[in-house]
Every structure is written in C-alpha cells, then in structure tokens.
Amino acid sequence: MRMRRFMWIFAVVALGAFALAAVGRFLLAWPDNVVGMWAGLGAGNAVGALLFLVVPRWWRSHCDEMYAQPAGQRYLRAMWPIMIGYALTLFVSIWSIKRGIESVPLRAVVAVLPALPIVLLMRAALRYLREIDELQRRIETEAIGIASLLLSVLYFAGGLLQLAKVIDIPAGVAMIWVFPLLCLVYGIAKMVLARRYL
C-alpha cells in the first residue's frame, strides 16, 4: 500500500516535470538546457515509478509491513526531508560550481555540501537499525556486510585494472559511485537474505 503510494508520488512528479519541460519548450521558449533539465528530472522519476512495478509482489508486501512498524515509520519520516534536501543541495552545489568559484576553500565547502544530507541519512539508518527486531537487524547488517565485501573486491579489481592502464575511469566518478553501488548491492543482498530468512 505504502509502496504503491511511493510509486504514484514518483509518477506524479515525473508527469509534472514533463509538463513543465513541454510548457517551457513550446510556450515560454526556455533555453534548451533548462528544458533538458526538467525532461531529465521527469525521465528519472518515471524510471523510479517503473522500478516499483518491476519488484516482485512478495517483496512489496514485505516492505509495506516493515514501513508499517513504528521504527519504519520514523525512518520514512526522517528520510523524505533528507532526500529532498539532498536533491536541492546537489542542484545548488553543481550549479554554483559550474558558474565558477575562485576561492578554493569556498569551492571545497560548496562541493561537500551534498554529502551532509547523506550523513543525516546514515544517522537515521543507524537509528532504524537499532530499533528493529533481532531477525530484521540480522538481515540488514548481513546484507550491508555482503555489499561491503563485494564492492571492496570490485573496486580493488577496478583499481588494479586502472593502475595497469587497461581501463580509464575518472577518479571523481569512481569515488562518487561507491555509495550508490553499495546501496544497490545492499538492496539486492537484502532481497536474497529476506527470502531465505523469512
């Protein structure tokens, strides 16, 4: 039920962004990059909504159950503002750095800004971890452990290939992707573990 609501929120945001892009393109003659930005936002949210459709039903009902618990509700309530804050700070940070900041310390502060909401997110996640029951905690921590080990090996292998000049990935991209990849592998590991334990 809750998952269904998330899906609709994503779908509505996607439609809104597409509508803005269309209005900007055909009625208000916005510059191409602004139209592109809104279209991109719409596409991202549409993909998000579609992902909810792809997940198996047992997983969806399991998530609904988890989020119905007090700990899950608290986690969700903490997460929404944090994720919106993350999106906004990321936007502001990229925009102002693209405009160019001369002073290096100031640029450093502005660049690190989007990492702050992630600190809050992790704090909320750790609190959630402490509030759930034993079995759930076991699933969560084991999934994080598996994700951590897999990703460490993946990055180690990638680093060796990079050092041997077989691949050439920019350092900044490689570093930023640690966290999203970790979340992805964690999610998959959690699905497998939950299937086994529950």
Partner 1 sequence: MSAREASSLPLPHQGLVATVGLVAVVLAWLGNASGSPLPTEQRDFAGGLAIGMALGFVLMLAVRNIPMLRERALLARSDAVVTAAHRQYLREFLPAMGTYVLAVFASLLLLKHIDAPATRALVALLPVLPIGFALRAIMRYVRNVDEMQQRIELESIAFATAFVSLAYLAGGFLQLARVIDLHAGTAMTMVFPLVCGVYGIAKRVVARRFR
Residues between 83 and 122 with contacts to partner 1, criterion CB under 8 A: 93, 97, 104, 107-108, 110-112, 114-115, 118-119, 122
Residues between 6 and 35 with contacts to partner 1, criterion CB under 8 A: none
- The 134-173 contact track toward partner 1, x by CB under 8 A, reads ----x-xxx-xxxxxx-xxx-xxxxxxxxxxxx-xxxxxx
Rg of the chain in Å (alpha carbons): 20
Does residue 73 belong to the site contacting partner 1 (CB under 8 A)? no
- Per-residue HEC secondary structure of 92-131 comes to HHHHHHHHCCCCHHHHHHHHHCCHHHHHHHHHHHHHHHHH
Residue 158: CB minimum distance to partner 1, A: 5
Question: What type of residue sits at position 91?
Answer: F
Cβ nearer to partner 1, comparing 54 with 166: 166
Cβ nearer to partner 1, comparing 18 with 162: 162
* Inter-residue contact 91 to 34 (CB < 8 Å): no
For partner 1, the binding residues (CB under 8 A) are 93, 97, 104, 107-108, 110-112, 114-115, 118-119, 122, 125-126, 129, 138, 140-142, 144-149, 151-153, 155-166, 168-179, 182
